[in-house]
Structure formats: C-alpha cells, structure tokens
C-alpha cells in the first residue's frame, strides 16, 4: 500500500510518499510544492491542488495522512494553511482516497518517541528510519514523510 503524507501550507506544502508491505516502509519520493508569493492567492491554491492531484494520479495511494491544523497566534497564517488543507482534502475526495489527520505532537511522538522533538530531530529520524542517504530537505518535506510514517505506525500497515 502507498501512503502520502502532507504538511499543508500556502507558501510551501511538504509531501512524502511511502510504500508499505516489506519489513519497513520505503520512500518513493518526497519534496515540496512551493508557490510564489508574487502570484495571486487563487493561483497558489490551484497549483497546490493540481500538483497534489498529480501525485495521487502517479502513485495511487491507499491513504493520505495530513497534519491537523494547529492554531497559533497568527490567524492570517492559520487561515492560509486552512485553505491549503481544504484543497488537499478536495483532491483526496476527488480521487477517492481516505484521509487520516494527525496533530504535530502525534506525529512527533509516533516517529521520535517524544512530542517535543524539534525540526532537526525529525529530519534526522526520517534519514535513519527510512535509510536515506541524507537528511530530507527542506524540513516541510521531512514533515510530509513523518506524517506518512506516523499513519503507517498508527494503523500498522506493514
């Protein structure tokens, strides 16, 4: 089975695609969808939708795992992340892919054993657990991988 993990954001949406079934999950691809701040808001959302839809078409996932929105003091940023999540959820529904949602602390706990892990610890754990040659960059891509791995660990899809 294939799981796509997504760390939503308007400027940068991180993703990681993992294949299960063997002894441990295998990374198929990871990266970021970056939308330029010089473009209008609607075009940026459309780009996120289009590129995530392309990933769904290419990898035919059995699940998509998405980071649950964490509200902070910056409501403008929270609204933009919420809108990006909306287009991601729309793409999943259009492709008939079930969605699981996890909080940042759930992801950190599932991957590192500590809900207080920082970005560098998460990147290093992804490198080790997925046997990558180097730390996945940027950290949003590592987060996408971590979210996918969290889902695999939570439902024991191995």
- What are the counts of helices (DSSP H) followed by strands (DSSP E) for the chain? 5, 5
Residue from 34, 124, 140, 143 carrying the catalytic annotation:
140
Q: What burial class does residue 92 get, using C-beta atoms within 10 Å of its C-beta: 0-12 exposed, 13-18 middle, 19+ buried? A: buried
Whole-angstrom Cα distance, residue 140 to residue 39?
A: 21
Residue from 7, 38, 43, 54 carrying the catalytic annotation:
7
Whole-angstrom Cα distance, residue 124 to residue 132?
A: 10
Q: What is the SS3 assignment for 10-42?
A: CCEEEEEEEECCCCCCEEEEEEEEECCCCCCHH
Concerning whether 140 is annotated as a catalytic residue, the answer is yes
Which among 85, 77, 78 is positioned nearest to 48, based on CA atoms?
Answer: 85
Concerning whether 7 is annotated as a catalytic residue, the answer is yes
Whole-angstrom Cα distance, residue 93 to residue 70?
A: 22
Residue from 57, 60, 67, 143 carrying the catalytic annotation:
67
Concerning whether 47 is annotated as a catalytic residue, the answer is no
- Residues with a catalytic annotation lie at 7, 67, 140
């Amino acid at each position: 089975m294939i799981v796509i993990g997504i760390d939503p954001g308007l400027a940068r949406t991180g993703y990681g695609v993992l294949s299960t079934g063997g002894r441990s999950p295998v990374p198929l691809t990871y990266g970021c969808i970056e939308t330029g701040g010089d473009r209008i808001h609607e075009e940026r959302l459309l780009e996120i939708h289009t590129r995530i839809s392309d990933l769904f078409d290419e990898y035919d996932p059995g699940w998509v795992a998405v980071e649950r929105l964490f509200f902070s003091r910056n409501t403008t940023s929270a609204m933009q992340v919420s809108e990006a999540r909306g287009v991601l959820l729309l793409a999943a529904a259009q492709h008939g892919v079930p969605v699981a949602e996890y909080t940042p602390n759930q992801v950190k706990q599932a991957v590192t054993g500590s809900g207080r892990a920082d970005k560098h610890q998460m990147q290093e754990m992804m490198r080790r657990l997925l046997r990558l040659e180097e730390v996945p960059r940027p950290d949003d891509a590592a987060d996408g991988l971590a979210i996918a791995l969290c889902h695999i660990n939570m439902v024991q899809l191995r």
